[in-house]
C-alpha cells in the first residue's frame, strides 16, 4: 500500500454519463472528490431529440448535480469552465480557480463534428446540448408558422423541407420524431397547412442505416421510416449548405431551410490542448488500463478516450462505454492507492436500439433481435430506468402516456426572440 499523508484528491472533469458514474463510484472511497462541469445539471442526452421535437421539456431530461450528489460527503462540485490542464504539475486551470489533484479522470464528452465545413457549422443545427435542442424546436415550429402564411409555393416547399444528415440512432430518431410532429400535431394545430407538402429527408453517406445493427434490423428501420413518409437517400454526402440550398456530392442541389446535422461527433476541444497523441475523432490514445501514457495518475474515459475492441476497431462513443470505463478507472485508482495491480478495460456490449416513432423501434441485445412494438416497449423501459431522479422518470412517463393516448405534445412553445430580425436565427458554434 502506498504511503499517503492525507486523503488523495480525485478531480473529475465532466458530469456526463462517465463522469457522474465515476464520482458516485467513489462515494465510499478514502478520497476527496471534486467534480467540475460547466453546467449545473446532468443531461440525459439520448432524449435530447424529444426536447427538440416538443415531446419533452428541459427539466424532464436534466437533473441538478447538487441534488444528485448532496448526500455524498466526500464530494465537492465546482461549476466552472476548464481553460487548461498541466499534467506535469498536476493542476487544473478554470476561469475561476487553479486546482491541484492527485488523480485525474478526464470525461469531457464530445461535440458536434462538422469536419471543418464552415458552411455547415454556420447554417445547420447540431444536437449535443439543451441549447441545441431549443434552437431546433424554435426553428421547426417557426417553419410551420411561416409556411402557413406563405403564398409562394416554391418558398413554402423550402420552408417545409426538413433534412436530417446522418443515419445513426440519433438521425433515425430525429427523422421519425419530426414526421410524427408534422403528421400528427401540426396537422391538428394548423389545419390550413397541407401536411402533404411536408418533406422529410434523411441523408446517409453509406448504404446502411444504424450501421452497428444486423442487416435485417437496419432494413426494418428503412421500412418503418418510409411508412412515415421519410425519404432516405443513401450514398449522399453534403458538401455545402448556405441556409437555403443543400449541395450534395455529386452535383445535386435542392432547397431546404432546415438541416439538422447528426453525422458525426468528435472529442471535446479541450483534448486538443493537451498535446497528446490523438486518433480518429480527436480522441486521446490511452493504455488498456485507461491511463494516459506517461501519466499513470491520469485517466481518460468516454467519448474522449480512444480504445479498440479485440477486432482492432474503436469502441463507439456511447453511454454504456463511458459508464463501464468510469467503473474501471475508479477501480484502478483505488488499486493504485492500495499498491495493487491495475486492470485493462474489457467492454461488455449491452446492445443497441433506436426508436422510429409510435410503436416502432429496433433493438439488438446480444444474439437477440427485436423490432416493432416489442422493441419499442424495450426502448421505453431501458431509457426510463436510466433517467436520473424519480421525479424525472414520472414526468417523462406521464408525458409519453399523454402523447400516446391523446396524440399531443406539450413542449411546443415559441419564444419571443424568434420573431425578431432573421439574423437572430443564425447559429454560432
User: What is the C-alpha to C-alpha distance for residues 375 and 358, in angstroms, rounded to an integer?
Assistant: 11
User: Do 209 and 170 contact (CB within 8 A), yes or no?
Assistant: no
3-class state of residue 177 by DSSP: helix
Residues pairing with 370 in the sheet:
363
User: Residue 288: which H helix or E strand, with range?
Assistant: none
C-alpha cell at 314: 474503436
Pairing state of beta strands 161-165 and 258-261?
parallel
Size of the chain in residues: 429
Do residues 307 and 317 make contact, with C-beta atoms less than 8 angstroms apart? no
β-pairing, 75-79 vs 62-64, is: unpaired
The residue among 172, 231, 246 whose CA lies nearest residue 199 is: 231
Alpha-carbon distance 99 to 105, whole Å? Answer: 14
**Cβ–Cβ < 8 Å for 175, 202:** yes
The answer to whether the CB of 44 falls within 8 A of the CB of 386 is yes
Q: Which has the closest alpha carbon to 283: 308, 263, 320?
A: 308
DSSP letters for 312-351? SPBPPS-HHHHHHHHHHHHHHHHHHHHT------------
Asked if 417 and 426 count as a contact pair (C-beta separation under 8 A), the reply is no
How many other CB atoms are there within 10 angstroms of residue 337's CB atom? 19
Is residue 173 part of the annotated active site? The answer reads yes
* Cα 369 from Cα 367, distance rounded (Å): 7
CA 258/CA 144 separation, integer angstroms: 11
Whether a cis peptide bond, with omega within 30° of 0, leads into 185 is no
- Of 335, 343, 344, residue with least CA distance to 31: 335
Q: Which of 76, 98, 111, 173 is catalytic?
A: 173
Region of residue 319 (phi > 0: left; psi between -120 and 50: alpha; otherwise: beta):
alpha
Give the active site residues: 173
Amino acid at each position: 500500500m502506498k504511503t499517503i499523508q492525507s486523503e488523495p484528491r480525485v478531480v473529475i472533469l465532466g458530469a456526463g454519463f462517465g463522469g457522474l458514474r465515476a464520482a458516485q463510484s467513489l462515494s465510499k472511497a478514502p478520497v476527496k472528490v471534486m467534480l467540475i462541469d460547466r453546467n449545473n445539471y446532468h443531461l440525459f442526452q439520448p432524449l435530447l431529440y424529444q426536447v427538440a421535437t416538443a415531446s419533452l421539456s428541459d427539466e424532464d431530461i436534466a437533473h441538478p448535480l447538487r441534488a444528485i450528489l448532496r448526500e455524498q460527503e466526500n464530494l465537492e462540485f465546482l461549476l466552472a469552465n476548464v481553460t487548461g490542464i498541466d499534467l506535469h504539475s498536476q493542476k487544473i486551470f478554470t476561469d475561476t480557480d487553479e486546482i491541484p489533484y492527485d488523480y485525474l479522470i478526464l470525461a469531457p464528452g464530445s461535440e458536434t463534428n462538422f469536419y471543418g465545413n464552415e458552411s455547415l457549422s454556420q447554417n445547420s443545427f447540431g444536437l449535443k446540448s439543451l441549447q441545441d435542442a431549443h434552437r431546433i424546436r424554435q426553428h421547426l415550429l417557426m417553419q410551420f408558422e411561416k409556411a402557413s402564411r406563405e403564398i409562394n409555393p416554391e418558398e413554402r416547399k423550402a420552408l417545409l423541407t426538413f433534412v436530417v444528415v446522418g443515419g445513426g440512432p440519433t438521425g433515425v430518431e430525429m427523422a421519425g420524431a419530426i414526421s410524427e410532429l408534422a403528421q400528427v400535431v401540426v396537422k391538428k394545430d394548423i389545419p390550413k397547412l397541407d401536411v402533404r407538402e411536408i418533406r422529410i429527408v434523411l441523408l446517409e453517406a453509406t448504404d446502411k442505416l444504424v450501421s452497428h445493427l444486423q442487416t435485417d434490423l437496419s432494413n426494418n428501420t428503412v421500412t418503418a421510416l418510409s411508412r412515415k413518409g421519410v425519404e432516405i437517400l443513401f450514398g449522399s454526402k453534403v458538401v455545402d449548405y448556405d441556409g437555403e440550398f443543400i449541395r450534395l456530392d455529386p452535383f445535386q442541389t435542392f432547397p431546404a431551410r432546415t438541416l439538422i446535422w447528426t453525422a458525426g461527433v468528435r472529442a471535446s476541444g479541450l483534448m486538443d490542448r493537451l498535446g497528446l497523441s490523438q486518433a480518429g475523432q480527436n480522441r486521446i490514445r490511452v493504455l488498456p488500463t485507461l491511463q494516459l501514457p506517461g501519466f499513470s495518475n491520469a485517466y481518460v474515459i468516454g467519448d474522449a478516450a480512444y480504445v479498440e475492441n479485440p477486432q482492432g476497431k474503436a469502441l463507439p462513443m456511447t453511454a454504456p462505454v463511458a459508464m463501464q470505463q468510469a467503473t474501471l478507472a475508479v477501480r484502478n485508482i483505488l488499486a493504485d492507492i492500495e499498491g495493487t495491480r491495475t486492470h485493462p478495460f474489457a467492454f461488455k456490449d449491452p446492445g443497441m436500439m433506436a426508436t422510429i416513432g409510435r410503436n416502432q423501434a429496433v433493438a439488438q441485445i446480444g444474439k437477440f433481435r427485436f423490432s416493432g412494438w416489442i422493441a419499442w416497449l424495450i426502448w421505453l423501459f431501458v431509457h426510463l430506468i436510466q433517467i436520473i431522479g424519480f421525479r424525472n422518470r414520472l414526468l417523462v412517463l406521464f408525458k409519453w402516456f399523454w402523447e400516446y393516448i391523446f396524440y399531443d405534445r406539450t413542449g411546443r412553445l415559441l419564444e419571443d426572440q424568434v420573431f425578431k430580425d432573421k439574423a437572430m436565427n443564425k447559429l454560432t458554434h
